[in-house]
């Protein structure tokens, strides 16, 4: 039975017929994972925590930086100064906002090796990533495990979103079978991004999440929505008949190419002037020992989550899963070389 506090806290949502008491109960029993705790993910986390979701998993590989603050509404200047991992800061924020939510922040890279474990057991996946490779990976894993997910992407003053329910609606590859080639689309690196555009797309994603998790799938918008809040374009593309074509490698042939091929080892990070290098094998680094080994070669700081190492124009942030973000380089091969030199392949 719910306490009086439950009805008081959520009284305005329970009054709202789109959710009501039964929806609020279902939401409290639900689990979602937010993949990426950047601009979109910050809105997802804040909205779902305040709305009263039962359990929330937040996965992100980055640390908070001052350049995030104009659009990533979970974070403060203190988080950026501290250089705290976003997943840790987001978990802390949720606990402060709504202590009823069982929240866990996971500082980890999402790749072919990790995704099924990271989304296992949830009722819904929210896409808050900034790259196609991870979205195609989410699409494969969600179809394989039968978990709905909500696609969202933003750049400049606009973006797009779609809700995928495996077996019931078209998936990402039903619409875009071939992943866009690197460099073929604008990114936040080349075109920038504005918070109101993020908030529109992320809020629609969060609304779709609440509809699904509160037991009202008939309220889903059922299309591919595209918005540009600077150019004032609002488009809904209907998806009737798309799934029925029967030619999707994921939906119809159950070929999960992105799960079966390991991701890139080195990838340029959006908007960062940096490259991330990942290990193809699941490993755990002993951070204190690594910091000791690096100390003769440059400036080193270490905490429970990461080692930060500076030498010349290069700054390397090395996480316990052996992942490394290297600032000061943009060439993946040069980054792999630095990784091999300082961390060890």
Applying CB under 5 A, which residues contact Zn ion?
171, 173-174, 248, 250-251
The residues carrying an active-site annotation are: 188
Pairing of strands 306-311, 55-60: unpaired
> Taking the complex as a whole, how short is the minimal distance between the CB of residue 215 and Zn ion, in angstroms?
25
- Angle among Cα 206, 249, 155 to the nearest 5 degrees reads 40
Q: Which of 145, 124, 3, 105 is nearest to 53 (CA)?
A: 124
Q: 273 CB contacts (<8 Å, ≥6 apart)?
A: 327, 328, 330
The least CB distance from residue 222 to Zn ion, in Å, is 15
How many H helices and E strands in the chain? 14, 14
Contact criterion met (CB below 8 Å) for 328 and 315: yes
Whether residue 206 contacts residue 128, with contact meaning beta carbons closer than 8 Å, is answered with no
Measured from the CB atom, the residue of 203 and 255 that comes closer to Zn ion is 255
Structure tokens at 89: 């800061």
Query: 126 or 251: whose CB is closer to Zn ion?
Result: 251
Minimum CB distance to Zn ion, residue 258 (Å): 13
Closest approach, Cβ 206 to Zn ion, in A, equals 24
Is the Cβ–Cβ distance between 220 and 112 less than 8 Å? no
Residue 250 vs 329, nearer CB to Zn ion:
250
CB of 138 to Zn ion, least distance (A): 13
Q: Is 188 exposed, middle or buried (0-12, 13-18, 19+ CB in 10 A)?
A: middle
Phi and psi torsions of 243, nearest 5°: -65, -35
Nearer to Zn ion, 174 or 318 (CB): 174
């Amino acid at each position: 039975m719910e306490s009086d506090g439950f009805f008081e806290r959520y009284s305005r949502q329970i009054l709202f017929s789109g959710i009501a008491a039964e929806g609020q109960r279902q939401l409290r029993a639900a689990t979602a994972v937010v993949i990426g705790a950047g601009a979109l993910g910050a809105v997802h986390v804040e909205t779902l925590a305040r709305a009263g979701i039962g359990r929330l998993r937040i996965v992100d590989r980055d640390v908070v930086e001052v350049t995030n603050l104009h659009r990533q509404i979970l974070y403060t200047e203190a988080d950026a100064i501290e250089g705290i991992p976003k997943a840790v800061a987001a978990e802390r924020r949720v606990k402060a906002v709504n202590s009823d939510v069982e929240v866990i922040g996971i500082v980890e890279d999402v790749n072919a090796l990790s995704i099924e474990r990271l989304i296992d057991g949830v009722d819904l996946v929210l896409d808050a990533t900034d790259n196609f490779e991870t979205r195609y990976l989410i699409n494969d894993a969600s179809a394989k495990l039968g978990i709905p997910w909500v696609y969202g992407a933003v750049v400049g003053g606009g973006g797009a979103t779609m809700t995928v329910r495996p077996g019931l609606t078209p998936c990402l590859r039903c619409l875009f079978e071939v992943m866009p080639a690197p460099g073929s689309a604008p990114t936040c690196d080349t075109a920038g991004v504005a918070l109101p555009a993020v908030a529109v797309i992320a809020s629609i994603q969060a609304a779709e999440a609440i509809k699904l998790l509160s037991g009202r799938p008939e309220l889903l918008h059922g299309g591919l929505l595209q918005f540009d809040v600077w150019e004032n374009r609002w488009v809904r593309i209907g998806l009737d008949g798309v799934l029925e074509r029967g030619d999707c490698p994921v939906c119809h042939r159950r070929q999960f190419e992105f799960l079966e091929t390991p991701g890139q080892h080195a990838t340029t990070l959006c908007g960062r002037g940096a490259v991330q290098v990942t290990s193809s094998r699941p490993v755990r680094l002993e951070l204190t020992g690594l910091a000791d080994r690096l100390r003769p070669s440059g400036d080193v700081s270490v905490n429970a989550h990461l080692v930060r190492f500076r030498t010349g124009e290069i700054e390397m942030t090395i996480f316990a899963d052996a992942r490394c973000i290297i600032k000061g380089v943009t060439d993946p091969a040069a980054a792999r070389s630095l990784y091999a030199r300082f961390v060890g392949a």
